Structure 1
Amino acid sequence: MDTRTVRETSVTLPDLDDADLDEVGSLEGEHGKLRDFRYAEARLRELSLSGTQLMDGRVIGLTTQRVRLEELRLNSVEFSDCDLSGLRWEDSKLSRVTFTDCKLLGAAWENVALDDVVFERCKLDYTAVTRLRAVGPVIFTGCSLREARFVGSDLSDVTFDECDLHLTEFDGGTYRGCDLRGNDLSGLRGVSALKKIIIDRSQLQGLAQAFAAEQEITFD
């Protein structure tokens, strides 16, 4: 199987063969299951899925105005060039899932588990992430997370690489081994929560700047 590696983190990618995928007109599936599928270029006013299992498929160019996803199980699924802004995703687990060049502006994730998941060149600005759990390797690379907020989440061993973290906030949670190398940390919020993270020495000044702003320290 192919992998995506950033520094010490390696994510196992979906194992898909286009010859095995059938074009579908809906993600609902039969009896709550959809497998070996390709869902492309849909323009929807609203998408609502609950209790659905998606396996071995591609979702390409999906655009929606409202998205509500609950109790989903995804395994070996690729999302690319999708606009899922305003997404609400709850009580789900994603395994071997990739998001590439997707817009997830203002999304809300709550009680979602991630295992072998990659976000690459995605827009996640203003996202609210509550009780997200990285139960396996997770990579954010080349993503924008401006003013995103992580609340009570477990981001242990998650890797952020070349991401825009301006005013990204970390409120409580667990961050042991979270790799923040290769990012500008000067605009972070909630620095005191980031215990046992991994950074480069060259990032200490930026982290100190963020801490000073958070504590309202004045230099005279």
Structure 2
Amino acid sequence: MIEDWLAHLAHDHPYQGGTLDGAALAGARLTDGTVLTTSLRGADFTNAHLTRMTFCDCDLTGCRFDGASIGNTTFVRCIMPDSTWREAHLHGATFTSCTLTGSSFAAAALTRASLLRCDLAAAALARCRSEESVFLDCMLQGIDLSGATLVNVAFTKADLRQAVLTDLRCDLVLLAECDLTDRDLRGLTLTRMNLLRAKLDRANLSGVDLTGSGFMDASLMGATLRRAKASSTIFAGANLSGADFTGAHLDNAVFQDARAAGACFDAAQLPCTVFHRAEAEAATFRGARLDDAQFHHADLARADFSNAHFLRTNFHCARTDGAIFHGHRGTRLDTVSARAVGELYDPSVVRALAAKV
């Protein structure tokens, strides 16, 4: 049977409907072949070289790809739970709608790999290195990413509440619409992350380096970010209600249109931050550094700025009913009437009126 399969591949003919369970293919070199609806349960591909291969609707349960080199190979709707890919090199590999539950990619290298709608529940990617890869709409419940290094990698709609993230290192990683609710993320490196619409309610990010990251439209209700390093981080449109930023470094951060009612920014470093149109009712900024911070058109009703340090801090058209400024130091800029009138100008209305004249 193996000889028949290899003959098909040698003549560039698709192989279909075979049973090759337990096939010994260690060290084999397979190139430009197509395998359809074939059972390869328990096959051994250890140290094999697969280049431009296609496996469609195949059963690869328990197969061993340890140390293999997988280049530009495609797996479509394959059943491959408990397969092992330890220390394998996957470059340009594509997995579409595959079942990879319980599989191990420990210490593997994934470069420009694409996993689309795959089931990776309880899979192990411990100590793996992944670059320029995507995990789109995959099931990742209980996945092990301990000690992994992710560079320029994208995850979408992943449930990471049970994932093992110990010593995970990330740079330029997208976690769009991913769920990290209640997670303790202390000790991780999360620089230049994009957590668009992610869920981080009650997550603990204390002391975490979030420099240059984005939390646009994310939910961080009740999250803890005490002493976090979040320079140039974007929280635009995020829900930060009740979040704790005590002592955080937030210089040049953007909180435009954020909902931060009851949030705590006590003793935080907030120079050059932007709170334009932010809803920060009853938020506290006690002892915070607010040099050149912008609060124009923000809702700061009942906010507490006791002992805060101002330097050209801009409160233009901000709502400050019941706000506390006891003991504050430095200069603040209040509403400029002429500017406020100019901001009422609506070009679309004026153009419509001019057209009627």
Could you state the TM-score of these two structures normalised by the residue count of structure 1? 0.77
Contact 1:167/1:187 (8 A) holds in 2: no
Query: Among 127, 132, 139, which residue is 2:134 paired with?
Result: 139
Deviates more, 1:106-115 or 1:187-196: 187-196
Deviates more, 1:32-41 or 1:189-198: 189-198
Query: Among 207, 210, 218, which residue is 2:200 paired with?
Result: 207
What corresponds to 1:13 in structure 2? none
What corresponds to 1:196 in structure 2? 191
Contact 2:178/2:195 (8 A) holds in 1: no
Q: C-alpha distance in 2, partners of 1:104/1:31?
A: 23
- SS of equivalent residue, structure 2 residue 65: strand
Q: C-alpha distance in 2, partners of 1:96/1:128?
A: 20
What corresponds to 2:44 in structure 1? 48
Name the structure where strand makes up a greater proportion of residues: 1
CA deviation string 1:60-99 (max 9, x = no partner): 1121442222211111110010111111111211111100
Contact 2:57/2:79 (8 A) holds in 1: yes
Are 2:53 and 1:60 equivalent residues in the alignment?
no
Are 2:147 and 1:156 equivalent residues in the alignment?
no
Quote the offset at 1:168 in angstroms.
1.6
Q: C-alpha distance in 2, partners of 1:123/1:58?
A: 19
Q: C-alpha distance in 2, partners of 1:115/1:42?
A: 27
Residues 160 and 201 of structure 1: CA distance in aligned 2, closer, same or farther (over 3 Å)? closer
Question: Percent of aligned positions with the same letter in both sequences?
Answer: 20
Residues 187 and 120 of structure 1: CA distance in aligned 2, closer, same or farther (over 3 Å)? farther
Contact 1:177/1:196 (8 A) holds in 2: yes
Contact 1:121/1:141 (8 A) holds in 2: yes
Contact 2:26/2:45 (8 A) holds in 1: no
What corresponds to 1:104 in structure 2? 100
Q: What amino acid sits opposite 1:129 in the alignment?
A: L
Residues 42 and 96 of structure 1: CA distance in aligned 2, closer, same or farther (over 3 Å)? same
Corresponding pairs, count = 194
Residues 189 and 89 of structure 1: CA distance in aligned 2, closer, same or farther (over 3 Å)? farther
- SS of equivalent residue, structure 1 residue 99: strand
Contact 1:168/1:189 (8 A) holds in 2: no
Residues 31 and 118 of structure 1: CA distance in aligned 2, closer, same or farther (over 3 Å)? closer
Residues 176 and 104 of structure 1: CA distance in aligned 2, closer, same or farther (over 3 Å)? same
- In the alignment, structure 2 segments of 5+ residues that lack a partner are 1-10, 206-221, 225-357
Quote the offset at 1:164 in angstroms.
2.7
What corresponds to 2:79 in structure 1? 83
Q: What amino acid sits opposite 2:167 in the alignment?
A: G
Could you state the TM-score of these two structures normalised by the residue count of structure 2? 0.49
Contact 2:96/2:115 (8 A) holds in 1: yes
The higher-RCO structure (CA 8 Å, 6+ apart) is: 1
Residues 30 and 110 of structure 1: CA distance in aligned 2, closer, same or farther (over 3 Å)? closer
Quote the offset at 1:173 in angstroms.
3.1
Q: C-alpha distance in 1, partners of 2:97/2:47?
A: 26
